């Protein structure tokens, strides 16, 4: 297993992070335990969770699994989305973050969380309020590193500026969506992360299963997130995405790869990425995605895969700057 530094923290994490969203939902406790042990056997020391996964069961199961070797693993959790019917059981206020962390610590049976993400930018809470809440939790030793998931680049930069101004602990890493059909992160988020020295732990490297080899223009399985979940159908519902999936599957087969691990290896090969989050519903599925560790993603292979999907325009929309016809060419 290759281990990489998580941003500027000095902490080393495995090249892949295992996401526990299936724990307590698609994967019962016995299946979760088998997958966790397989990940540990493969050298994975990085496990991602959130307070809303399986109504909190994901954290409970993960907490049982890490017992006895807590300090050997890096665990994450998140807060933002509703955790109950109360009007304040949501968001990124200092009040909610305090309650959310305490509840996660109980479920995880631990006294600290390594990386704690704000799961989504809160349009209704002052960012300074959120960051002060995170700083309180750092000083109390309940979280070690604040982090951000689903933030835009400007939101992350604003947060870094506020933290620096007050001398608070800054975000250590970010968790953007990133895969072959969702490449917006390449425009500003990933370059910003490189410039600021942030760890990057992308989620959904398979596009909700779209890039698993099971989907095409006129082909889909009977079950799966893109079939059963309205949110995922909406997120990956554009026809061109299925065209990309079909081209990618064909390319994988022609070059002797399985689509799922190749898609993960492509995400992991971006120079800004620390560790993509992989997930699985069962041990067989996990074995498939772990094959990403065996794929040597050369620059040439990455370029060929990248050409299968539209490259997003540059932040300034000056597309000519990627050609020899730019006024700034040297």
- 108 burial type by CB count under 10 A (0-12 exposed, 13-18 middle, 19+ buried): buried
Which contiguous run of DSSP H or E holds residue 34? helix 29-42
Tens-digit pLDDT profile for residues 26-44 = 999 999 999 999 999 999 9
Q: What local confidence, expressed as pLDDT, does residue 222 receive?
A: 80
Closest CA to 314 of 199, 214, 187: 187
Average pLDDT of span 57-76: 97
Report which DSSP code applies to 72.
G
68: left (phi over 0), alpha (psi -120 to 50) or beta: left
Domains in the chain, please, with CATH?
Answer: 3-317 (3.20.20.100)
Measured in whole angstroms, the distance separating CA 89 from the mean position of its chain's CA atoms is: 23
Q: Over the range 131-146, which residues count as b (16 or more CB within 10 Å of their CB) and which as e?
A: bbbbbbbbeeebbbbb
**Where is average pLDDT lowest: 120-134, 167-181, 305-319?**
305-319
Active site residue 236: no
Cβ proximity of 94 and 133 under 8 Å: yes
Report which DSSP code applies to 314.
P
- How many angstroms separate the CA atoms of 177 and 207, rounded? 9
| DSSP, residue by residue, 145-212 | EEEEES--HHHHHHHHHHHHHHTPPPP-EEE-B-BTTB-GGGTTHHHHHHHHT-EE--B-TTGGGTTT
Closest CA to 116 of 170, 156, 76, 155: 76
Cβ proximity of 185 and 149 under 8 Å: no
Q: How many CA atoms lie within 13 A of 266 on its CB side?
A: 31
> Higher confidence at residue 220 or residue 94?
94
Catalytic residue from among 3, 36, 53, 112: 53
Tens-digit pLDDT profile for residues 79-104 = 999 999 999 999 999 999 999 999 99
Which contiguous run of DSSP H or E holds residue 259? helix 259-268
Q: What local confidence, expressed as pLDDT, does residue 329 receive?
A: 60
Edge-first strand order for the sheet with 113-118 is 199-200, 173-175, 143-149, 113-118, 74-79, 46-48, 17-19, 277-278
Cβ proximity of 71 and 300 under 8 Å: no
Reported confidence tier of residue 184, pLDDT bands at 50, 70, 90: very high
Per-residue pLDDT at 131 exceeds 90 = yes
Per-residue pLDDT at 320 exceeds 90 = no
Cβ proximity of 206 and 264 under 8 Å: yes
Reported confidence tier of residue 218, pLDDT bands at 50, 70, 90: confident
Cβ proximity of 124 and 91 under 8 Å: yes
* 201 φ, ψ (degrees, to nearest 5): -125, 80
Per-residue pLDDT at 328 exceeds 80 = no
Those residues whose C-beta lies under 8 Å from the C-beta of residue 205, and which sit 6 or more positions away, are: 178, 179, 211, 263, 264, 266, 267, 268, 276, 277, 278
Which contiguous run of DSSP H or E holds residue 13? strand 12-14
Per-residue pLDDT at 330 exceeds 70 = no
């Amino acid at each position: 297993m290759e281990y990489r530094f998580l941003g500027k923290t000095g902490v080393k994490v495995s090249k892949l992070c295992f996401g526990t969203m299936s724990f307590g939902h698609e994967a019962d406790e016995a299946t979760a335990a088998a997958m966790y042990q397989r990940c540990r056997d493969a050298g994975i020391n990085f496990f991602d969770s959130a307070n809303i996964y399986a109504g909190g069961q994901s954290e409970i199961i993960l907490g049982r699994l890490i017992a006895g070797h807590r300090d050997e693993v890096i665990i994450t959790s998140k807060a933002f989305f509703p955790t109950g019917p109360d009007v304040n059981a949501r968001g990124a206020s200092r009040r909610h973050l305090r309650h959310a962390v305490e509840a996660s610590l109980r479920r995880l049976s631990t006294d600290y969380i390594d990386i704690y993400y704000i799961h989504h930018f809160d349009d209704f809470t002052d960012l300074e309020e959120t960051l002060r809440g995170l700083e309180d939790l750092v000083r109390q030793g309940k979280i070690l590193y604040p982090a951000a998931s689903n933030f835009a680049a400007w939101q992350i930069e604003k947060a870094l500026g506020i933290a620096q101004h007050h001398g608070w602990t800054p975000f250590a890493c970010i968790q953007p969506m990133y895969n072959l059909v969702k490449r917006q992160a390449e425009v500003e988020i990933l370059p910003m992360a490189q410039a600021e020295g942030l760890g990057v732990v992308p989620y959904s490297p398979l596009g909700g299963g779209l890039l698993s080899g099971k989907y095409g223009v006129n082909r889909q399985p009977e079950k799966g997130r893109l079939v059963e979940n309205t949110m995922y159908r909406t997120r990956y519902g554009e026809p061109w995405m299925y065209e990309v999936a079909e081209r990618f599957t064909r390319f994988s087969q022609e070059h002797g790869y399985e689509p799922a691990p190749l898609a993960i290896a492509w995400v992991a090969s971006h120079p800004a990425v620390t560790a993509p989050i992989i997930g699985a519903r069962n041990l067989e599925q996990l074995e498939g995605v772990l094959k990403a560790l065996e794929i040597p993603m050369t620059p040439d292979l990455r370029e060929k895969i990248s050409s299968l999907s539209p490259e997003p325009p540059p932040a300034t929309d000056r597309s000519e700057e990627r050609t020899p016809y730019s006024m700034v060419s040297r």
